[in-house]
């Protein structure tokens, strides 16, 4: 099979096909959408779905071929660069080659993006089946996949930024997919605007990198922003590493929803559930983590920046977990959980465990996509109900959804032997072994909370007494096969996905760690027998801690549902604080948005804009230029003799200047 492909295509072609397939799918679906937009038609639904799922699948296969090819290079450095496809800009000091970079890291990302992406596209076929704008949905989702692949496969920071902005755009379009609903459209705008703040910092960071590279006189052959060029000149970053790293990290905070820019992600749940699963759980929001790992050579130069990343990550992890406990919307719980888990990934980056961050990124993509799709299945079954207090006992009606959801929850809670256990444990162990005991403790506590809130969700939704009315209860139905297949596959991955990173103390090979070893610095934690025993002890403690809260959450919310209400009453103010998400949105509104708006209105608009800019600059110049314009057109009298007179004046000047 592979040989057949090699005969007909170069591996570079296959690599470009990875990004080309989703784009083609998107274009086809846009055309279908354009053709059917005016008519109430069911036509082309089959084609739309076929194209929408088929092209991501082809992309996945192409990634698979590249992956197998890479593995085939035994003993050789398996990294190969597809090289520049074309030169986008060339000039003195500014060369930008557009090229792909398939190395171990980007391949892992591409596998996750296309693999999970394909499953979610398949799931969407059933989930969105009642949707009139079917083709538009698939077109946007395929476009997202295209930009996401550009983001992870780009071989330079600028192309990565193109993908970065592109996924932001698609995220905006898909959050506001039902844009007739003003609240949903607003949620889309919010996501877009908050991300702009991060992007501004990202751009500044990029400019700074450019400046550094120019000053270091790096080889401009592929452009200064090429990752390989940057990595080989990484020493030049030393003086400004902290500021560069922090600027880029602000960008990552925006995209990956970290404190203080996380506020858009819970609102982003306004989009269709598969979108939440793909964009706001599995792929796009992890772009920040990917970027930090990709640029690890800058981060390791600055211990300060690493501290900041780790601290922000840990703080986000615990902060979001507390909000997850009180949220009542099934998707909001998962959204806070995502924010919290992303915090773990940044924690891992901050303590230097880059491969741990990627490991958690991968497993998180599996189980969080599973959880979102499961919640989608629940919502689908309940015809749009999202409040978990109005559910219960659903395991009898939708058993498959229920049990796959439980598997996902176990993975999230970190129960042995699911994927989540290994990845979360790796992060906590690295935090501990690198000496960040405080951060470890925070992560440890957050892990307990995670287990608690997710099994609170499981208990309330699937077990115990139902709170549904009889009518509603009768209408509950299991989802179609196209939605169940992704659930089953993802459940399998959530259990087995951890095998890639079983730590060496447990007899595993830490396959992922070795795979990534040429890209990220190895964590030196093999301190002999003593460390090994510490690692095992910690592992046992962590898993018992998680298990404890799992059981606690499950028991309380299936059998003793009155307890938490009493607790909430007793805690009073504290509960209200958390339930209202610490009033962060309100605080931002009061501190930033409203002053900004009133300042803008009173001063910038009425004062600066109306009077100074419009009055003086815009209309003023327009008027004065208008006067000149009128003068200039007065010259055009239509009288030929006068024209010849101008001619003669010109002749006088020219002859006078040149010949005199």
> Interface with other proteins by CB under 8 A: which residues?
86-91, 622, 625-626, 628-633, 635-636, 638-660
- Based on CB atoms, which residue is closest to other proteins, 75 or 656? 656
For residue 119, the SS3 value is: helix
Q: Which long-range contacts (CB under 8 A, 24 or more apart) does 187-193 make?
A: 187/264, 187/267, 187/268, 187/269, 187/270, 187/271, 188/268, 188/270, 188/271, 190/263, 190/264, 190/267, 191/264, 191/265, 191/267, 191/268, 192/168, 193/264
The least distance separating other proteins from the CB of residue 304, rounded to whole angstroms, comes to: 37
The least distance separating other proteins from the CB of residue 631, rounded to whole angstroms, comes to: 8
The least distance separating other proteins from the CB of residue 47, rounded to whole angstroms, comes to: 25
- Based on CB atoms, which residue is closest to other proteins, 68 or 652? 652
State the CB neighbour count (10 A cutoff) for residue 473: 16
- Based on CB atoms, which residue is closest to other proteins, 37 or 465? 37
The least distance separating other proteins from the CB of residue 515, rounded to whole angstroms, comes to: 36
- DSSP for residue 394: G
- Return the closest-CA partner of residue 346 out of 427, 417, 276, 406: 427
The least distance separating other proteins from the CB of residue 309, rounded to whole angstroms, comes to: 35
The least distance separating other proteins from the CB of residue 193, rounded to whole angstroms, comes to: 24
The least distance separating other proteins from the CB of residue 641, rounded to whole angstroms, comes to: 5
- Return the closest-CA partner of residue 305 out of 373, 233, 248, 370: 248
- Based on CB atoms, which residue is closest to other proteins, 470 or 633? 633
Residues 6+ apart with CB under 8 A from 175: 184, 187, 188, 191, 267, 268, 270, 271, 275
Nearest 5°: phi and psi at 392?
120, 140
The answer to whether 304 and 240 have CB atoms below 8 angstroms apart is no
The least distance separating other proteins from the CB of residue 34, rounded to whole angstroms, comes to: 11
Residue 553: HSE in the Cβ half-sphere, 13 Å Cα cutoff: 28
Residue the block writes with tokens 């030393």? 238
Question: Of all helices (H) and strands (E), which one includes residue 106?
Answer: helix 104-127
Pair of tokens at residue 521: 């610095």
- Based on CB atoms, which residue is closest to other proteins, 182 or 631? 631
Strand partners of residue 86: 98
- Based on CB atoms, which residue is closest to other proteins, 562 or 635? 635
DSSP labels for 487-553? HHHHHHHHHHGGGGG--GGGT---HHHHHTTTTSPPP-----HHHHHHHHHHHHHHHHHHHHHHHHH
- Based on CB atoms, which residue is closest to other proteins, 524 or 640? 640
- Return the closest-CA partner of residue 464 out of 533, 526, 519, 395: 395
The least distance separating other proteins from the CB of residue 134, rounded to whole angstroms, comes to: 24
The least distance separating other proteins from the CB of residue 638, rounded to whole angstroms, comes to: 7
- Based on CB atoms, which residue is closest to other proteins, 182 or 635? 635
The answer to whether 398 and 292 have CB atoms below 8 angstroms apart is no
- Based on CB atoms, which residue is closest to other proteins, 481 or 639? 639
The least distance separating other proteins from the CB of residue 636, rounded to whole angstroms, comes to: 6
470 by Cβ neighbours in 10 Å (0-12 / 13-18 / 19+) ranks as exposed
362 by Cβ neighbours in 10 Å (0-12 / 13-18 / 19+) ranks as buried
- Based on CB atoms, which residue is closest to other proteins, 592 or 644? 644
- Based on CB atoms, which residue is closest to other proteins, 596 or 622? 622
């Amino acid at each position: 099979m592979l040989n057949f492909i090699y005969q007909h295509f170069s591996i570079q072609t296959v690599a470009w096909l990875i990004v080309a397939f989703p784009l083609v799918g998107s274009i086809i679906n846009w055309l279908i959408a354009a053709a059917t937009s005016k008519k109430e038609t069911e036509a082309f639904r089959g084609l739309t779905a076929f194209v929408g799922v088929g092209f991501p699948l082809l992309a996945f296969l192409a990634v698979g071929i590249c992956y197998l090819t890479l593995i085939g290079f035994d003993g050789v450095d398996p990294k190969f660069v597809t090289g520049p496809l074309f030169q986008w800009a060339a000039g003195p000091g500014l060369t930008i080659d557009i090229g792909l970079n398939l190395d171990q890291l980007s391949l892992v990302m591409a596998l996750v993006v296309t693999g999970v992406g394909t499953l979610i596209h398949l799931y969407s076929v059933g989930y969105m089946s009642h949707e009139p704008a079917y083709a538009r949905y698939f077109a946007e989702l395929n476009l997202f996949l295209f930009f996401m692949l550009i983001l992870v496969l780009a071989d330079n920071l600028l192309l990565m930024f193109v993908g970065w902005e592109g996924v932001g755009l698609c995220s905006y379009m898909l959050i506001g997919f039902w844009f007739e609903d003003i609240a949903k459209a607003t949620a889309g705008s919010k996501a877009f605007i908050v991300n702009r703040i991060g992007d501004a910092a990202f751009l500044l960071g990029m400019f700074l990198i450019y400046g550094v590279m120019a000053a270091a006189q790096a080889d401009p052959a592929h452009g200064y922003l090429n990752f390989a060029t940057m990595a080989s000149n990484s020493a030049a970053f030393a003086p400004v590493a902290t500021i560069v790293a922090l600027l880029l990290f602000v960008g990552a905070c925006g995209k990956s929803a970290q404190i203080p820019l996380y506020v858009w992600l819970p609102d982003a749940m306004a989009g269709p559930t598969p979108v939440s699963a793909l964009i706001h759980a599995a792929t796009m929001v992890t772009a920040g983590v990917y970027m930090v790992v990709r640029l690890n050579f800058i981060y390791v130069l600055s211990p300060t920046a690493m501290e900041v990343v780790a601290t922000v990550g840990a703080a986000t992890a615990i902060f979001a977990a507390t909000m997850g406990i009180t949220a009542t919307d099934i998707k909001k719980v998962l959204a806070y959980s995502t924010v919290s888990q992303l915090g773990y990934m940044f924690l891992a980056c901050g303590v230097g465990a880059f491969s741990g961050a990627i490991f958690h990124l991968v497993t998180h993509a599996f189980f969080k996509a599973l959880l979102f799709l499961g919640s989608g299945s629940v919502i689908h079954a309940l015809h749009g109900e999202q409040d978990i207090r109005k559910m219960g006992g659903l395991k009898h009606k939708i058993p498959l959804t229920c049990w796959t959801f439980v598997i996902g929850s176990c993975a999230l809670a970190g129960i042995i032997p699911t994927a989540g256990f290994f990845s979360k444990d790796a992060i906590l162990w690295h935090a501990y072994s690198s000496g960040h005991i405080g951060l470890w403790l925070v992560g440890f506590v957050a892990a307990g909370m995670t287990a608690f809130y997710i099994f609170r969700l499981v208990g309330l939704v699937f077990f115990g007494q139902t709170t549904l009315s009889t009518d509603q209860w009768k209408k509950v139905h299991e989802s179609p096969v196209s939605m169940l297949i992704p659930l089953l596959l993802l459940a399998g991955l959530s259990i087995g996905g951890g095998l890639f990173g079983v730590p060496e103390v447990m007899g595993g090979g830490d396959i992922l760690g070795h795979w990534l070893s040429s890209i990220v610095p190895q964590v030196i934690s093999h301190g002999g027998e003593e460390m090994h025993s510490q690692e095992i002890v910690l592992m046992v403690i962590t898993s018992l801690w998680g298990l404890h809260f799992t059981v606690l959450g499950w028991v309380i919310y299936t059998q003793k549902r009155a307890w938490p209400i009493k607790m909430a009453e007793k805690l009073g103010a504290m509960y209200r604080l958390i339930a209202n998400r610490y009033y962060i949105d309100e605080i931002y509104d009061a501190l930033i948005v409203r002053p900004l708006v009133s300042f803008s209105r009173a001063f910038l608009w009425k004062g600066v804009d109306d009077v100074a800019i419009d009055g003086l600059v815009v209309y003023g110049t327009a008027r004065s230029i208008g006067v000149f314009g009128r003068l200039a057109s007065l010259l055009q009298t239509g009288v030929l003799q006068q024209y010849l007179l101008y001619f003669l004046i010109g002749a006088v000047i020219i002859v006078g200047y040149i010949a005199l």
